[in-house]
Structure 1
Amino acid sequence: MTPNFSVSNLGQRQREDADIWSRQAERLSTALRQHAERIQHSHGERVQQLWADWLRLGQDLTLAAWRGHGARDAAAYGVDAAQRLLLTLDTLRERGQQDLDHEAAGTPPVLDYAYEEVVDGRQLPRPVNYRLLRITPPAGVEVMDWKRPYMIIDPRAGHGAGIGGFKHDSQVGVALRAGHPVYFVVFRQHPEPGQTLADVMHAEAGFIQEIRRLHPEAPKPVVVGNCQGGWATLVLAAANPEISGPLVINGAPVATWSGKLGENPMRYNGGLLGGALPALLMSDLGHGEFDGAHLVSNFEQLNPSRNFFGKYFDLYREVDTRRQSFLDFERWWGGFHFSNEAEIRWIVEQLFVGNRLSRGEAQLEPGRHLDLKAIRSPIIVFASRGDNITPPQQALNWIVDTYADEHEIRIRGQRILYMVHDKVGHLGIFVSSSIANKEHAEMASTLKTIETLPPGLYEMTIDAVHGEGHAEHFVVSFHERKLSDISGSELQDREQEHDFAAVARLSALGTDAYELALRPMVQALVTPQLAQLIRDAHPARTSRRAFADDHNPAMKWLGGLVPQVQAQRQPAAPDNPWLALEQLSAQGLMQGMDLMRDLRDAAYENSFLAIYGTPFMQWLGKPLARERVHKDPAELRYLPEVQAMLLGLDNGGYRSTVIRMLILLAESRGSVRRDRLERSAEVLTQREPFASLKPERRAAMIREQSVIIEFEPEAALAALPRLLPQREERVAALQVVEYILGDVSEMEPRTVALLQRMRELFELAAPAATPAPQTLTRPEEA
């Protein structure tokens, strides 16, 4: 049979290729323009400011010389600079020795709290290197066992454990001060032989079960996942939908192909460095273990001026006050941890290269897909526009990928809240004290009431701040959002993500070739001794250990000299012009490094676009570029569970009616203020006949009424009189609803109109008697 080489088909293929070339040229142009504009804006302003500062400094030096102070200022600065140099070297010496001692002790977590071990993962049927710790509250802080516990999962991303409790003003501190028991999931330096991420997930599920056993009177635990611990939390909840309470996800990379043109260069690593192949090779060179120092070094490369110079200059400039905080942070940042080959391979192939979790294709165990749609716990997602490791697109796009639209979120009874910070960086999400005292503090108190929200997608905003310190209180509101609100504000070009499908395809081909041709030889050549030698030679370790006493005998003399230097310390006067010269010199060097970084990132992105935006690469990645198939929103009505709920449109009693009225009124507003949410939670959890409901039953009732209103809003409203035929019940229901709504002067006109219509349906034209004003105690638990 002769092939049909149709001219029209050939023309169609040519037009498609031309369209691909056109889109590639447009993206290249856009990326170059954005990089150029950013470089011009940022560095232009910095150069102007630096030049003005240099001119001012020249005048100060000239004036000091004219007054005869030049030699005196130079001498004072020389003494100060020499002393600071010795103290800085001694700090680096202590850091190097601290690293060695920390590793010799098994790299314990860097928590700023005392703790006790509850479960050792090595003793489980499927042993893992994870541990469950219970945080001991500090003096003056009391926790109650009946309050909802917190379980914080720290990120296992190369460094050690404990960053979520690194400071007193942290996630741990916020929860403890609110009286909640706090548990922390940490990990040892080396994985147990043969452990997998499935084993880790089962261990974490066991941790939650143990917490629930220890707190039988408390609601289900809150699970907080930081960075890598965030996607691990989602995996845990997807595999065990009924096991936990609300989930708080901080800076977690889930939709890893996402980002903005002109930003987020880290997402291009897989395409430019060989996909999963480097991880497999590094694991083989590590004799089956992947060294976390590689990951930490990748993070440092994102901001070389800060990580390779700036933090050391800040230490040198303020060594008298920064020494301890520098050592505390470096103890965590330098505590390199390991993953085995199976773990790192799953992370790279399923997440960072394959993006399978976001698309519903990830498998943790054979035959068991992980579907984020299966999660039943409320989810709070925290992201930041200043995060260059996990940009908001990667933290939020999985919502868009998972659900057909916001209606499906409501129909499935899910509550998803998100908050996007303007500028905090990746580590600041769970390290910065200001964030711990703001966003995390507000989330901690909001979790008490979130489960009374109707299902849906919400953005949480902080509208006002009252008080200071630990007494600080935030006024927040929840705004109903559509999936298009996320995609419109946080996404720029999702079609560009198709480029990453070619990366995944090439990665699979590359790993297959390596496993067939080279891997047996590499594994045969690498011995445990050679693997240890390779680890010890890593620059991230040698740069630290070079200053340690045990590795550099020349540094030992500093130990005896430092007390003398501290006793004779002579800081230069703050207005000494040589200090300004030092500062400006450092600023100039850092700006030069930043410029090189920005040029590197521009070249990095445009190289990726030039390689993977071609018609051949689009064709190569086409089998993996498919998006998740969503059910038509109109078909969701015919789900068996939805049909069963719609049958209850005319059925129900007092509780169902009040919940339906509250949801109808919330729909009319489109947002929920914090004070109304608290009153709603107080009624639905502390007043009868709602207080006797189990949380699961209350959640089911809220979901059922939400689904009815979603598909039949007018019929649901018209059916209210049939749900409450007795006048006394109608009056009582209106009283409760009006109490939750609050002062009528603060209501939206649509809310007032809907409330009046409800009165008319109940044949209660006159306003129902509102309960006398009372002082409410804030509900302790949802």
Structure 2
Amino acid sequence: MAQETGAARQPPLFSIPAFWPLQMYASLVGEEAALYSRNLKFVAEELKLHGGLAPVLATPNQVRLPLRTMTLRDYGAPGAGIPTLVNAPFAGHTAMIADYQKSQSLVGTLLANGLPHVALTDWKSATPDMKDLEIDNYLADLVVAIDDLGGRVNLVGLCQGGWTSAMVAARFPDKVNSLVLAGAPIDTFAGDGPLKHMVQEAPEGFYEKLVEAGGGLMKGKLMLRGWKNMNPKQHYFQEHVDLYEHLDDPAYLAKEEVFESWYENPIDLPGRWYLQAIHQIFKENRLAKGSFVALGRQLNLHDIRCPTYLLAGASDDITTPEQVLDAAKYIGTPKDALVAETVPGGHVGLFMGARTLKDHWPAIARWIVAHAS
């Protein structure tokens, strides 16, 4: 039997009690190195999520018409029947809300359910030279888009794109074959949502100061800060904790990156447009009252007689269900051509929620097809 060497017979260095502190230190250094690496990864991901990603539309499309206020985009097969124009919100975020990702795309859902040609208003961020543009300027470009599409469309208005869509339908009834208003504040005095109270209670000078701070623009970053302040615990604490806990989950990170590429990249609004919207639409409710003047004519929602679909979110605290559904009191659409539906979920979920896109929008697409004429 071979004789053991002296070195082999000696116990490991760290088994000697006097060296236990060194072993503990070595262990801590290793743990701290791992923690340091994880923290660096966390910081890099935070920077990426909060402004380091650009919003990207999910579905292949073509630029149909570049206008000053928007890019009109074509999807599907242009020329196949009456086009369906999705009028995205002009409220501080991009049109990605209508074409979010492959599995959550309103545009994709419409295309897959019988509507061969869909177009999208991709509203641009306002530049300093656009600070004095008015609601009329945006309505005029929306009409130009409709005319470029052939002069008659199925119009789908989302959120703030809803009240501009209703304005066009009332001002030019022959240009709108059917109308869908989803999460659209038509009667801004209806319901009891927090946004309604915030707008009503804040003095006019408050909004003017915000525009002044933006050099004549309503800055998207400033609006984003306001939205986050409506739920500070979630945005300033919980979302960072959630991210840290899921740093090693690629699926979670991919989902967050898609969302934040949209949410953390707000667009600027013309100050004049913004103040008009606050004062005339939300503080005075002129559209519902029939006193709003658009493109030289006083609007009467009763002039909307096309088939109309009203879609509201049951837990929507931005545009409460009443603000959408009360449109039925004002428009002239016959009752047999009017649908009013409230679905589960909140505001953003109406347009990009997987459940709503799967369970409700396919039927809306088929409803549009059924009323194409």
User: Scaled by the length of structure 2, what TM-score is found?
Assistant: 0.82
Q: What amino acid is aligned across from residue 120 of structure 2 in structure 1?
A: F
Matching residue of 1:302: 230
Matching residue of 1:327: 257
Say if 2:105 is the partner of 1:165: no
- Check the 8 A contact 1:256/1:394 in 2, yes or no: yes
Q: What amino acid is aligned across from residue 350 of structure 2 in structure 1?
A: I
Instruction: Select the residue among 316, 328, 335 that pairs with 1:387.
Output: 316
Looking at structure 2, the residues matched to 314 and 222 of structure 1 have their Cα atoms a distance apart, in angstroms, of 41
Matching residue of 1:131: 71
Matching residue of 1:633: none
Looking at structure 2, the residues matched to 327 and 247 of structure 1 have their Cα atoms a distance apart, in angstroms, of 33
Matching residue of 1:90: 44
Looking at structure 1, the residues matched to 84 and 333 of structure 2 have their Cα atoms a distance apart, in angstroms, of 25
- Check the 8 A contact 1:241/1:376 in 2, yes or no: yes
Structure 1 residue matching 2:166: 3-state secondary structure: helix
Matching residue of 1:118: 64
Q: Given the superposition, is the C-alpha separation of residues 97 and 277 from structure 1 closer, same or farther in structure 2, using an over 3 Å criterion?
A: closer
Which structure 2 residues correspond to residues 211-290 of structure 1 after superposition, within 5 A? Answer: 211-212=149-150, 220-260=152-192, 264-274=193-203, 276-290=204-218
Matching residue of 2:22: none
Instruction: Select the residue among 342, 349, 366 that pairs with 1:428.
Output: 349
Say if 2:126 is the partner of 1:208: no
Instruction: Provide runs of 4+ in structure 1 moved above 6 Å.
Output: 76-82
Say if 2:325 is the partner of 1:415: no
Matching residue of 1:176: 111
Q: Given the superposition, is the C-alpha separation of residues 77 and 365 from structure 1 closer, same or farther in structure 2, using an over 3 Å criterion?
A: farther
Q: What amino acid is aligned across from residue 310 of structure 1 in structure 2?
A: Q
- Residues 175-218 of structure 1: CA deviation (Å, up to 9, x unaligned): 222351121101221155342211211211111121127xxxxx
Bigger relative contact order (CA 8 A; separation at least 6): 2
Q: What amino acid is aligned across from residue 398 of structure 1 in structure 2?
A: A
Matching residue of 1:149: 83
Looking at structure 1, the residues matched to 184 and 35 of structure 2 have their Cα atoms a distance apart, in angstroms, of 42
Shift of 1:84: 4.9
Structure 2 residue matching 1:389: 3-state secondary structure: coil
Q: Given the superposition, is the C-alpha separation of residues 227 and 79 from structure 1 closer, same or farther in structure 2, using an over 3 Å criterion?
A: farther
Max Rg structure: 1
Instruction: Select the residue among 261, 276, 283 that pairs with 1:353.
Output: 283
- Residues 27-84 of structure 1: CA deviation (Å, up to 9, x unaligned): xxxxxxxxxxxxxxxxxxxxxxxxxxxxxxxxxxxxxxxxxxxxxxxxx999987665
- Residues 569-610 of structure 1: CA deviation (Å, up to 9, x unaligned): xxxxxxxxxxxxxxxxxxxxxxxxxxxxxxxxxxxxxxxxxx
Shift of 1:294: 3.0
Looking at structure 1, the residues matched to 166 and 238 of structure 2 have their Cα atoms a distance apart, in angstroms, of 35
Q: What amino acid is aligned across from residue 149 of structure 2 in structure 1?
A: I
Q: Given the superposition, is the C-alpha separation of residues 211 and 77 from structure 1 closer, same or farther in structure 2, using an over 3 Å criterion?
A: farther
Looking at structure 2, the residues matched to 304 and 298 of structure 1 have their Cα atoms a distance apart, in angstroms, of 10
> Size of the alignment, in residue pairs?
340
Instruction: Select the residue among 396, 399, 416 that pairs with 2:325.
Output: 396
Q: Given the superposition, is the C-alpha separation of residues 149 and 389 from structure 1 closer, same or farther in structure 2, using an over 3 Å criterion?
A: same
Shift of 1:144: 7.2
Shift of 1:221: 2.4
Structure 2 residue matching 1:447: 3-state secondary structure: helix
- Check the 8 A contact 1:196/1:343 in 2, yes or no: yes
Looking at structure 2, the residues matched to 323 and 294 of structure 1 have their Cα atoms a distance apart, in angstroms, of 26
Looking at structure 1, the residues matched to 272 and 186 of structure 2 have their Cα atoms a distance apart, in angstroms, of 19
Matching residue of 1:318: 246
- Check the 8 A contact 2:51/2:261 in 1, yes or no: no
Shift of 1:120: 1.4
Q: Given the superposition, is the C-alpha separation of residues 394 and 78 from structure 1 closer, same or farther in structure 2, using an over 3 Å criterion?
A: farther
Shift of 1:382: 0.7
- Check the 8 A contact 2:87/2:158 in 1, yes or no: yes
Structure 2 residue matching 1:110: 3-state secondary structure: coil
- Residues 82-126 of structure 1: CA deviation (Å, up to 9, x unaligned): 665443222112235625xx4xxxxxx53112322111113xxxx
Structure 2 residue matching 1:337: 3-state secondary structure: coil
- Check the 8 A contact 2:306/2:333 in 1, yes or no: no
- More strand as a share of residues: 2
Looking at structure 2, the residues matched to 296 and 163 of structure 1 have their Cα atoms a distance apart, in angstroms, of 15
- Check the 8 A contact 1:254/1:357 in 2, yes or no: yes
Instruction: Select the residue among 370, 377, 382 that pairs with 2:306.
Output: 377
Looking at structure 1, the residues matched to 31 and 237 of structure 2 have their Cα atoms a distance apart, in angstroms, of 21
Matching residue of 1:467: none
Looking at structure 1, the residues matched to 294 and 141 of structure 2 have their Cα atoms a distance apart, in angstroms, of 14
Structure 1 residue matching 2:174: 3-state secondary structure: coil
- More helix as a share of residues: 1
Shift of 1:420: 0.2
Q: What amino acid is aligned across from residue 266 of structure 1 in structure 2?
A: L
Looking at structure 2, the residues matched to 348 and 228 of structure 1 have their Cα atoms a distance apart, in angstroms, of 12
Q: What amino acid is aligned across from residue 170 of structure 1 in structure 2?
A: S
Q: Given the superposition, is the C-alpha separation of residues 309 and 362 from structure 1 closer, same or farther in structure 2, using an over 3 Å criterion?
A: same
RMSD: 2.7
- Residues 385-426 of structure 1: CA deviation (Å, up to 9, x unaligned): 2111111011112322x26xxxx753xx8832111013x111
Looking at structure 2, the residues matched to 308 and 160 of structure 1 have their Cα atoms a distance apart, in angstroms, of 23
Q: Given the superposition, is the C-alpha separation of residues 379 and 79 from structure 1 closer, same or farther in structure 2, using an over 3 Å criterion?
A: farther
Looking at structure 2, the residues matched to 383 and 300 of structure 1 have their Cα atoms a distance apart, in angstroms, of 23
Looking at structure 1, the residues matched to 48 and 239 of structure 2 have their Cα atoms a distance apart, in angstroms, of 16
Instruction: Select the residue among 449, 458, 461 that pairs with 2:370.
Output: 449
Q: What amino acid is aligned across from residue 346 of structure 2 in structure 1?
A: G
- Check the 8 A contact 2:310/2:324 in 1, yes or no: yes
Looking at structure 2, the residues matched to 78 and 420 of structure 1 have their Cα atoms a distance apart, in angstroms, of 52
Looking at structure 1, the residues matched to 186 and 222 of structure 2 have their Cα atoms a distance apart, in angstroms, of 21
Shift of 1:243: 0.2
The percent of aligned pairs where both chains have the same amino acid is 22
Q: What amino acid is aligned across from residue 339 of structure 2 in structure 1?
A: L
Q: What amino acid is aligned across from residue 130 of structure 1 in structure 2?
A: M
Q: Given the superposition, is the C-alpha separation of residues 397 and 297 from structure 1 closer, same or farther in structure 2, using an over 3 Å criterion?
A: farther
Matching residue of 2:21: none
- Residues 693-729 of structure 1: CA deviation (Å, up to 9, x unaligned): xx4xxxxxxxxxxxxxxxxxxxxxxxxxxxxxxxxxx
- Residues 150-171 of structure 1: CA deviation (Å, up to 9, x unaligned): 2111111112232100122321
- Check the 8 A contact 2:86/2:155 in 1, yes or no: yes
- Check the 8 A contact 2:292/2:298 in 1, yes or no: yes
Structure 2 residue matching 1:118: 3-state secondary structure: strand
Matching residue of 2:20: none
- Check the 8 A contact 1:110/1:161 in 2, yes or no: no
Which structure 2 residues correspond to residues 366-765 of structure 1 after superposition, within 5 A? Answer: 366=296, 368-400=297-329, 402=330, 409-410=333-334, 415-422=337-344, 424-450=345-371, 695=373
- Check the 8 A contact 2:83/2:154 in 1, yes or no: yes
Structure 2 residue matching 1:131: 3-state secondary structure: strand
Where structure 1 has 5 or more consecutive residues not aligned to the other structure, the ranges are: 1-75, 103-108, 123-128, 138-142, 214-219, 452-694, 696-782
Shift of 1:149: 2.2
Q: Given the superposition, is the C-alpha separation of residues 417 and 332 from structure 1 closer, same or farther in structure 2, using an over 3 Å criterion?
A: same
Matching residue of 2:273: 343
